[in-house]
Amino acid sequence: MPLFYQQNINATTKMAIWSITESLDFFESKVHTHLEITNSIKKTQHLAARYLLKQLAPSIDMDGLKYAANGKPYFENHPIHFSISHCNGFAACIINSMQPVGIDIELIQDRVAKVAHKFLHATEQEKIKSLLAKDQLEQYTFFWAAKEAMYKMHEKLGIDFSQNLRIESLGKAPQGELTAAIVIEAHALEVQINYAITSEFVWATCVV
């Protein structure tokens, strides 16, 4: 079983990452969730994330999976809060028994630097541009993953990633924890970001 990584964030929150080595047939035999996805690679990733969710919360009925207006999945008849993510080769999941959570996993690729101006605040861009060129791409990916996790946790539409999701510190350590803020008008909700930066990908979680 290729459970790549697992961590208890706190007493009510746990997350895990799955290294996808199995075929689409394997996941289709394990997860009976209808997905209108024709691309076999993408479908495998989606099903792997749901299979991982089932591993973390065995009592849930996957047939009860629904989607909110913002695209966030939820279970109509189960109180669990969760978030899932996937990229080429990996699936990630976080669950919490009490409150909303978010998770994102991103491959470290050049394309994220090209769209950084869309999700970074000016002060965040300045911090990253002060780094050596070889370190900038990791930080761009870290900020993108962290802000995606923040967006998923917040569960509201109309969020501007560059203005409303603010991260004051760089993700300097290979693995760590830092605080961030979701700023809506005059109100700022402080959140906790846990993350890891590997040679291949970055994952980040968001909890209150």
- Write down the pTM of the prediction: 0.92
- Check residue 173 and report its DSSP letter: S
91 vs 106: CA distance, rounded Å: 10
pLDDT in tens, 167-205: 999 998 999 999 999 998 878 999 999 999 999 999 999
Q: Please say whether the beta carbons of 167 and 180 come within 8 A.
A: yes
Over residues 30-46, the mean pLDDT reads 85
Domains along the chain?
3-100 (3.90.470.20), 105-207 (3.90.470.20)
Q: Please say whether the beta carbons of 95 and 81 come within 8 A.
A: yes
Tell me: pLDDT of 1 over 60.
Answer: no
* Helix ranges restricted to H, the chain: 24-30, 40-56, 111-114, 116-119, 122-129, 133-154, 161-164
List, in order, residues 6 or more apart from 15 with CB less than 8 Å away: 6, 7, 9, 92, 93, 94, 95, 103, 194, 205
Share of the chain above pLDDT 70, in %: 98
List, in order, residues 6 or more apart from 130 with CB less than 8 Å away: none
* Residue 77 in tokens: 């008849």
Residue 134's pLDDT is: 81
